Structure 1
Amino acid sequence: MQNAIDILLRKIPCLLALLVLGVGCFGGNSSHPGLVEVSGVLTIDGKPAKDISVVFQPEAGGNASRGTTLEDGSYQLMFDRHSSGALPGTHRIRFLSMAIDSTGASLPAKYRRPETGITVEVTREGPNEFPFELSGK
């Protein structure tokens, strides 16, 4: 009986180490803990804009977050393939599109430039909902 207890006591630290390692590797969004959820709606001349990429580039540097607009113009940012959200701070906004969407709203040329002049402040407190009303005029 004492031999079985000794074996069990020697294995417990190994099992705990594996458990901690497993949670660290597979649990939650541990690789990007500072991200916050960001969403919004993009319209062009009052119409929802579909299939336009909305890019949030942090002014402080770092990876951009992006989201593609849906049929209703809504978007949600992704930091990478597995992590949603954006880093807190000031972001320069860019829009990318290759086609005219089904509503007839196309991305005006002045918004296709890398520097649109639009900036927003993403905060930890939120809400981080950013509607963009673009004008073709």
Structure 2
Amino acid sequence: MMIASATSRLLAVCGLVVVFTGCDAGVQRHAVSGTLTIDGEPVDDVTIVFTPVGEGLSGAAEVFEGEFACGEVGGPSKGMHNIRISPNEAEMEEVEEDLGELKAPRKPKVPLKYQRLGGLQVEITGEEGQVLNLQLER
């Protein structure tokens, strides 16, 4: 089941790259890497999506143990981008089998303001090997 889940996530990210691949050969994608922490703790098992504020190409990357990397193939274009961070797993606890009751929901891994467009913006400069250190707070 773990392999199927990882495979599903990989296919989803590949699908995002295909969707984000633009038809305009004049717009260049850029490699971007970095770290993602919330309240000083590395974030794990989320997807970070770069969506251009104006014209441009989007990009996406998986975040594991607080680190992410977009290559030039799936990276964003130069310019301002909204950042959206999406958890890769359900944010609710499963039903307790023996009691048949729901457990209290756990604190979301990623605050809702970062799961929506407009909660965070960054500038992709086009510099080779740009590194973003995203230090977020709840």
* Global fold match (TM > 0.5): yes
- TM-score range normalised by the length of the shorter chain: 0.5 to 0.7
Determine whether 1:51 maps to 2:45: yes
Over 6 Å off, 4+ runs: none
Runs (5+) with no aligned partner, structure 1: 1-30
Q: Which residue among 115, 125, 128 is the counterpart of 1:112?
A: 115
For residues 77-121 of structure 1, what are the alpha-carbon distances to aligned partners after superposition, in whole Å with 9 as ceiling and x for unaligned?
257xxx142211111111111436xxx9811122222321x2211
SS of equivalent residue, structure 1 residue 110: helix
Distance 1:109 1:84 in 2: 25
Aligned to 2:19: none
- TM-score, normalising length: structure 2: 0.60
Greater strand share, structure number:
2
Which structure has the larger Rg over C-alpha atoms? 1
- TM-score, normalising length: structure 1: 0.60
Q: Which residue among 75, 78, 85 is the counterpart of 1:85?
A: 75
User: Structure 1 residues 112 and 33, CA, compared in 2 at 3 Å: closer, same or farther?
Assistant: closer
Distance 1:47 1:87 in 2: 28
What value does the CA root-mean-square deviation take over the aligned residues?
Answer: 2.5
Runs (5+) with no aligned partner, structure 2: 1-24, 92-106
Give, in angstroms, the shift of residue 124 of structure 1.
2.3
